[in-house]
Amino acid sequence: MLTIGDAIANLPFGSKAVSTPVLRVLMTSREMFTVLSERHLEVVLAVVYEYIKTGEPIGSRTISRKYLRDRSAATIRNEMADLEEMEYLYQPHTSAGRIPTPRAYRVYVDAILRRQRSFPLEDDLWVRELRARRKDAEEALVYATRLLGKITSYIGVAALGPVSETVLQRVEFVRMGHRTLLILLVLKGGLIHHKTVTLPCDMTQEALDELSRRVSVVAVGRSWKDVRGVLQSYVEDALEKYAENCRSAISEMDGIMMDQTFQFFTGGTHNVLGMPDFSDLGRLQAIMALLEEGESMSKLVNDCSAEQGLCITIGDENPVFQMRDCSIVMASAKTGGRKAVVGLIGPVRMDYERSISVLEGILDTLSADVEVE
């Protein structure tokens, strides 16, 4: 984890005043941070570091005793009050210490990104195993998400495009009302796509079940790109009475599949169950629902993934509302000739130093031009 000493050693803080160019490094394209003095910046880094470790509000005595020993607790308390006004810290209640805001985490993350990092895999066997799986892009990403979850205790996510090559596992048509149909598609990896549509004429649930069965015979276990050309004629021949409805339903399926650009994988979703940051049931349910919902995941990946380098979104920087209590670290690579996006979802109180190092190591392994032994 980034230590305060490391941060001060790798950025020109400490004995010298912070220069204007350095302050610009600590500013992101999303928001120009309030200019921080050297002393305020040291307090921000110390509070974030300690809060990531403990999860408890941080008091001025703790910072004075453990990190900034040349300053009194009273002086640090005044600096914390300044930082609260500047929206880098907040106080959950009057008698408590301070907690960092997403703005403070952003300063901390930018300090991390200026440091050289190493991949903290404890066992080279995992690296060799990941390399051995690279010939099958899907298998490699399934393994990568599990590895990410295991090493970091957060949720590993990955996306592989295009989704038209994804294998269908289940197809259902459910009658919702007169002429109203719910299309439910389950893809390999467990991701669910669904859409409510209006048919040209009404169908009974029995007829829709037969349609599901007919589509499944051709489509399940095969990629959409391989079946879309023959599916319509096959189904229409079997269900002539509902030929127009069949054309409409299959056209909607085609739209769902072809509009999506990624196939998704997740690993370590159970990790959030034990995190105090996600003890609120509603927050936990929102995260789980998003991980199973194709459209929201597509938006998340499209907005958070970068063509080059890391993309880190913290708290309310996230474009998807359900993720406003989370931080997301994502980056892109090429594996098996297809674009792959790999990332981590965790609490705002994420161990960013370790998470970034692990993700970069896995990306390097997936994209490196190395012969598999």
pLDDT in tens, 291-305: 777 677 777 777 766
CA–CA dist 292, 175 (Å, integer): 22
**301 & 169 share domain:** no
Q: What is the pLDDT of residues 46-76, one digit of tens each?
A: 999 999 999 999 999 999 999 999 999 999 9
Instruction: Give residues with Cβ within 8 angstroms of 160, minimum separation 6.
Output: 137, 138, 141, 262, 263, 264, 265, 335, 338, 339, 340, 341
State the pLDDT at residue 69. 92
CA–CA dist 118, 356 (Å, integer): 9
Domain boundary among 78, 113, 148: 113
CA–CA dist 116, 199 (Å, integer): 58
Does residue 235 lie within any of the structural domains?
yes
**14 & 97 share domain:** yes
CATH of the domain at 91: 1.10.10.10
Q: Which among 155, 192, 165, 132 has a CA at the least distance from the CA of 342?
A: 155
CATH of the domain at 201: 3.30.390.60
What pTM does this model have? 0.66
**145 & 271 share domain:** yes
**131 & 54 share domain:** no
Given the structure tokens 């359900």, which residue do they identify?
322
State the pLDDT at residue 87. 93
**14 & 102 share domain:** yes
Does residue 119 lie within any of the structural domains?
no
Does residue 373 lie within any of the structural domains?
no
**269 & 138 share domain:** yes
Domain boundary among 113, 143, 175: 113
Does residue 118 lie within any of the structural domains?
no
CATH of the domain at 156: 3.30.450.40
**Residuewise pLDDT in 10s, the chain (373 residues):** 545 555 544 443 333 333 322 333 333 333 334 478 889 999 999 999 999 999 999 999 999 999 999 999 999 999 999 999 999 999 988 778 999 999 999 999 988 888 776 666 555 677 778 888 877 777 888 889 998 988 898 999 988 876 556 678 888 999 999 989 998 888 775 667 788 999 888 888 998 898 888 888 888 888 777 887 788 777 777 677 788 888 888 888 888 777 656 778 888 888 777 777 777 777 777 788 777 776 777 777 777 665 556 889 898 888 777 778 889 999 887 665 567 889 999 999 999 999 998 888 888 888 764 443 3
**249 & 267 share domain:** no
User: 200: cis peptide before it, omega within 30°?
Assistant: no
Contact assessment for residue 297 and residue 184, using Cβ atoms and an 8 Å cutoff? no
Three-state secondary structure string covering the chain: CCCHHHHHHHCCCCCCCCCHHHHHHCCCCCCCCCCCCHHHHHHHHHHHHHHHHHCCCECHHHHHHHCCCCCCHHHHHHHHHHHHHCCCEECCCCCCCEEECHHHHHHHHHHHHCCCCCCCCCCHHHHHHHHHCCCCHHHHHHHHHHHHHHHHCCEEEEEECCHHHCEEEEEEEEEEECCEEEEEEEECCCCEEEEEEECCCCCCHHHHHHHHHHHHHHHECCEHHHHHHHHHHHHHHHCHHHHHHHHHHHHHHHHHHHHCCCEEEEECHHHHHHCHHHCCHHHHHHHHHHHCEHHHHHHHHHHHCCCCCEEEEEHHHCCCHHHCCEEEEEEEEEECCEEEEEEEEEECCCCHHHHHHHHHHHHHHHHCCCCCC
State the pLDDT at residue 18. 32
State which residues form the domain around 214.
165-259
Does residue 71 lie within any of the structural domains?
yes
Does residue 21 lie within any of the structural domains?
yes
CA–CA dist 147, 138 (Å, integer): 14
Does residue 193 lie within any of the structural domains?
yes
**16 & 28 share domain:** yes
Name beta bridge partners: 264: 159
**138 & 275 share domain:** yes
Neighbours of 214 (CB within 10 A): 19
CA–CA dist 94, 90 (Å, integer): 10
State the pLDDT at residue 8. 47
First to last CA, the chain: 33
State the pLDDT at residue 19. 30
Q: How many angstroms separate the Cα of 65 from the Cα of each of 53, 61, 310?
A: 16, 6, 34
Domain boundary among 216, 233, 259: 259
Given the structure tokens 């998340």, which residue do they identify?
300
**91 & 238 share domain:** no
Burial of residue 324 (number of CB atoms within 10 Å: 0-12, 13-18, 19+): middle
Strands ordered across the beta sheet of 310-314: 263-267, 155-160, 338-347, 326-335, 310-314
The packing angle between helices 124-132 and 352-367, to 10°, is: 40
Domain count, the chain: 3
Does residue 362 lie within any of the structural domains?
yes
Strands ordered across the beta sheet of 168-177: 168-177, 180-187, 192-198
**94 & 238 share domain:** no
**29 & 102 share domain:** yes
